[in-house]
Amino acid sequence: MNVLVTGGAGFIGSHISEGLLNAGHDIVVLDVLDPYYDIGIKEQNIEHCRETAPDRYEFVEGSITDEELVRELVSSRDIQFIYHQAAQAGVRTSVENPKKPHEINTTGLLNLLLAADDHGIERFVNASSSSVYGEVEYLPYDEEHQNVPQSPYGVTKLTAEHYCRVWNEVYDVPTVSLRYFTVYGPRMRPNMAITNFTSRCLNGNPPVIYGDGQQTRDFTYIDDIVEANLELLETDAADGEVMNIGSTGTITIQELAEYIIDETGANVTIEYTAAKEADARHTHADVSKASELIGYEPSTSIRDGVSCFVDWYRANRQWYEPLVLNS
C-alpha cells in the first residue's frame, strides 16, 4: 500500500512510518522541518526510517499549507492511505501565536482532505488531541464529554475533527480521528516533561515542576499509539468516528518526577515554580470505544514506559542530549 505520512519526521509520525515500513508498505513522508525544536532530532528520525527500508521510503520537505504540493504528492504517488500527523504543536505556543496553529492545523488539514477526496483514498487518519476536551466535567473523558478547549491549539484540533466528520458524511471520504493523550517514548520532543526531567536528573539537576505537581496526566507510550494506527489498516469499522487513544491509567506530575529520580538514581530534590497558563489540570482517557471498534488495548504502564525511555536516553545521549539541553 502507498501511504502518505504528514509530519513523518516528527516523534509520532516517524514511529508510525517505521511501523508501516516494517509491515511492508511504501511510505512518502511530507514534513516542513519547522525548527519548533532542534531539527537535528527530526533528521535522526528521517535517517532511522530510511535505514529501515531505503527502497520503500521517500522524504519530501514541504508544508501541508502548500495546496499544490499536497495535491501533486497524493496524485503522483498514487496514495491510498493518509496518516495526518503534521501540526503546530504546543498549547502554550498557541496562546502566544494563535495564527500559526490555525493556518497549519486547520487550513493545512483542509488541503489534505480536498486532495483525499479528489484522489479517492481508502482512509484518512487524523491525529487529534485530548486538548479538545478542556474543561473537566467528569473523568475519565469519554467521547461524549463536552468539548470546551482552553487554548487556540485545542480549538484547531477540534475544528479538524469536525472537518473530518463532514468529509466523511458529505463527501464519503473514510476518515477517523484519534485523540492522543500525552504521548511519550524514544525520540520524543525535547520540551516534554518526561524528557526534561530525565535530562536534568542524569545531569545532577533537580526536575522542575510547574505548579503544585498534583495535576494528573494520562501518559501514552508510543508503541501503543503505533498499534492503534496500524489497526486502522485492517478494518473499516471506525469510519467517521472519533476515538480516545490513551494509556492504562493516570499519574501525578510529582509522582512522575519521583519515578524518574528513582530510575536515574539521581540525588536531587524536586523544585517547583509557577503554573503555566492554558494547561489542563487533569486528563484521563476512557478507551472503551477504541477497544470495541479496533481492538485497542494499551499495554505499557507508565512505570515500564519511563524505564524504557530512561534506558533509551542513556544509550542515545551522544546525539540526543545536547539538543535537549539547548532546547
Residues annotated as catalytic are 153
- CA 295 to the chain's CA centroid: 20
Which residues, 6 or more positions from 178, have their beta carbon under 8 angstroms from its beta carbon? 125, 126, 127, 128, 228, 229, 242, 243, 245, 290
SS3 282: strand
**Residue ranges of the alpha helices (H) in the chain?**
11-22, 39-52, 67-76, 91-96, 99-102, 109-119, 152-171, 193-202, 222-231, 253-264, 288-294, 302-315, 317-325
Find out whether 130 and 141 touch, Cβ atoms under 8 Å: yes
CA dihedral 259, 265, 271, 275 (to 10 degrees): -30
Q: How many CB atoms lie within 10 A of CB 224?
A: 23
Residue-level length of the chain: 327
Q: In the 8-state DSSP scheme, what is residue 108?
A: I
Spatial separation of the C-alpha atoms in residues 105 and 153, rounded to whole Å = 8
Spatial separation of the C-alpha atoms in residues 29 and 45, rounded to whole Å = 11
Find out whether 285 and 141 touch, Cβ atoms under 8 Å: yes
Helical axes 253-264 vs 302-315, angle rounded to 10° = 50
Spatial separation of the C-alpha atoms in residues 309 and 314, rounded to whole Å = 9
- Closest C-alpha to 304, from 129, 177, 184: 184
Start-to-end Cα distance in the chain: 37
